[in-house]
Structure 1
Amino acid sequence: MIPKIDENIGILVYTTRFEGSSGVIKNRFEDFVVSEIISERVRISSSQNDGFAVYKLKKYGIDTTHALERIYRVHGARLKALGLKDASALTEQFVCSTGKNKILSDVTDAKISLTLIGFVSKPLSAKDMIGNRFTIKVTGLSADISAFNEYDRILNFYGYQRFGSKRAVTHLVGKALVQRRFSDALSLALSFISEYDDEKNTALRKIMSDPSKYAEALQQIPPGMDIEKILLQEMIAHQNPQKAFARLPLSMRRFYVDAYQSYLFNLTLSSAYQSGEELFEPQAGDVCYDKNSNLGRFEMDPNQKLAIPIIGYSYFKKTRFESILGRILENEEISAKDFYFKEMQELSSEGGFRSACIKCADFAACADTIKFMLPRGSYATIVLREILKPKDPLLAGF
């Protein structure tokens, strides 16, 4: 049986025969260890002392965005991450300076360790990060996880984090923005209530559901609700939902639209699997990624991986998934051209492609520990979902 939260984010199927081990992840930060892997093409020099500084950031109990904000606030250095790592894990990743002027000494506090490892001639970018290595301990297992051997039969769904995990609302906000329902988008961002939220936050969101109480809510906003604070301030000042969203950081505004595209992709993948489409082996005429992540048509190359369209204003329609995508757009009451924003052109998205299945490497499961490596953009929680098959993923630590 598919959990409700999975259905809410467009994940409607399991693709492995393994019955599921149940269990809980992330009981402790050190139970979920993530190490970033960068391309061998990156040359980090430890002998020179100029260029763009590269650091190894180790953290736990804090997400990447807030870790970098803390470093800037305390030490005055702007650093850029290659990928985002969440708070409920022990993570190690590369971050790079955005300028050549300020070099930090090693930094250590309760949640962060920052170590200078060298310099590069130009700033690192997300393309330099090729993947992540995971070591995950599972408690409360009900089955032998070493029996799981279907790691090559897992679809590349977007994971729970993409949608807000315990408060899966980002794609709903994104849909409202795509449909130009700015008032609804604002209401969802401020007052959408999740059964997994605590009583204090739920009570605050009930206050934020009433526009006449925005000033009262603003006085109660806790430090973690940065987005809500900005929206409330702008609504109190101007009473214009569209302008309020325009004041959010561009990365966050784009994230809402991206989250909705991610939901549509999950629906596409689920529907294609349910319809009997072959998703693990590309076929003649398919669009594929080659071993170097370049897109092209299928050429009988065993290294190619099937690519599925991501809906945007100019997404590529000529694939065997066209009818499935058409039905989804109709059911969602949107069209591809809706992803072009005349009102906020910076939010426009032309669409693209994403691999249909996960390329899970170096997989090993023994006793209560699972180890594997995933390419950039794939989610460990989607691999774990097929192994644990939890009745309630969020209560299981997902």
Structure 2
Amino acid sequence: MRAGGLGCYRKDAGHSVKIIWVCGHQGQASCFNSKGYCIQAYASKLASLNEKLIGIKVGDFCYVKDGLVLGQLLGNRFTVTLRGVTADSEHTIKAAADALGKRGFINYFGLQRFGSGSVPTHNIGAALLRGEWKTAVSMILDPREGDILMMFLIQKDVIAIAREYYKESKDIDGTLRRMPRHLVAERAV
């Protein structure tokens, strides 16, 4: 949701900003669906927002015991169109397309809200483009001072301990075993 739209949603629903959450951060120029949750809210009251909101629709409500956390959706799903691809053989293109289809990719190359933490993802992307693999991995796994995204993560103590472990040991496998499953970018290393 656009930030302004979500703010309107929260205000019209009569709730404080802290009790309506979404499970991801999307760009302002995108069209998407996102799961979210409200604490102590009635579906009928939320559904009535559709009459007031422009460019946003809410629905598919259910009542649950536990809320969502950032990253729980295990990444976005979207279509990528590649044009003008050249390679030494059809086999190379097919193998690359199959790998992309099976494993996907993490977009480290754009200025995006996901990069609003203390280490913006476009800096990680730049390190990857330069072939600086260790630098990129450290940017992903090192401890992060003042990372605003940590405020929203339920297991922030577990994450901080895993990052400290990486800083001290440089043991990637051990670090990833300590990372919560919903940290998709870190676990993709």
Shorter chain as normaliser: what TM range?
A: 0.5 to 0.7
List aligned pairs for 1:324-335, cutoff 5 A.
none
TM-score normalised by L of structure 1: 0.28
Q: Is the strand fraction higher in 1 or 2?
A: 1
Aligned-residue offset at 1:89: 1.9
Distance 2:31 2:7 in 1: 18
Q: Does 2:29 align with 1:88?
A: yes
| Identity in percent | 11
Distance 1:163 1:132 in 2: 14
Which residue does 1:75 correspond to in 2? 13
Which residue does 1:272 correspond to in 2? 133
Distance 2:13 2:113 in 1: 32
| One-letter amino acid of the counterpart of residue 118, structure 1 | C
Distance 1:128 1:157 in 2: 17
Which residue does 2:150 correspond to in 1? none
Aligned partner of 2:120 among 259, 265, 276: 259
Secondary structure of the residue that 2:132 maps to in structure 1?
Answer: helix
Aligned-residue offset at 1:94: 0.2
CA pair 258-106 structure 1, distance change in 2 beyond 3 A: farther
Which residue does 1:150 correspond to in 2? 96
Asked whether the 8 Å contact 2:37–2:67 carries over to 1, the reply is yes
Larger RCO (alpha carbons 8 Å, 6+ apart): 1
Distance 2:21 2:126 in 1: 29
Q: Does 2:100 align with 1:100?
A: no
Show structure 1 runs of 4+ deviating over 2 A: 73-78, 106-110, 135-138, 141-144, 146-149, 151-159, 161-164, 262-270, 307-321, 375-378
Secondary structure of the residue that 1:80 maps to in structure 2?
Answer: strand
List aligned pairs for 1:1-398, cutoff 5 A.
63=2, 65-77=3-15, 78-97=19-38, 99-103=39-43, 104-108=46-50, 109-126=53-70, 128-136=72-80, 141-143=83-85, 147=93, 149-151=95-97, 152=99, 156=106, 158-162=108-112, 255-259=116-120, 263=123, 267=127, 270-272=131-133, 308-309=137-138, 310-312=141-143, 314=164, 315-319=166-170, 376-377=184-185
Aligned-residue offset at 1:377: 4.0
Give aligned pairs, total: 140
Distance 2:81 2:48 in 1: 30
Distance 1:87 1:70 in 2: 15
Question: Which digits, 9 at most, give the CA deviation of each residue in 1:75-125, with x for residues without a partner?
Answer: 32442011011122220110100x214541254343101004211112222
CA pair 143-266 structure 1, distance change in 2 beyond 3 A: closer
Distance 1:317 1:265 in 2: 24
Secondary structure of the residue that 1:263 maps to in structure 2?
Answer: helix
Asked whether the 8 Å contact 2:47–2:59 carries over to 1, the reply is yes
Distance 1:376 1:308 in 2: 14
Q: How much is the aligned-residue C-alpha RMSD, in angstroms?
A: 4.4
Distance 1:155 1:101 in 2: 36
| One-letter amino acid of the counterpart of residue 271, structure 1 | E
Asked whether the 8 Å contact 1:106–1:113 carries over to 2, the reply is no
Distance 2:125 2:57 in 1: 36
TM-score normalised by L of structure 2: 0.52
Structure of larger gyration radius: 1
Asked whether the 8 Å contact 2:12–2:49 carries over to 1, the reply is no
Asked whether the 8 Å contact 2:24–2:71 carries over to 1, the reply is no
Asked whether the 8 Å contact 2:27–2:112 carries over to 1, the reply is no
Asked whether the 8 Å contact 2:23–2:72 carries over to 1, the reply is yes
Distance 2:48 2:37 in 1: 14
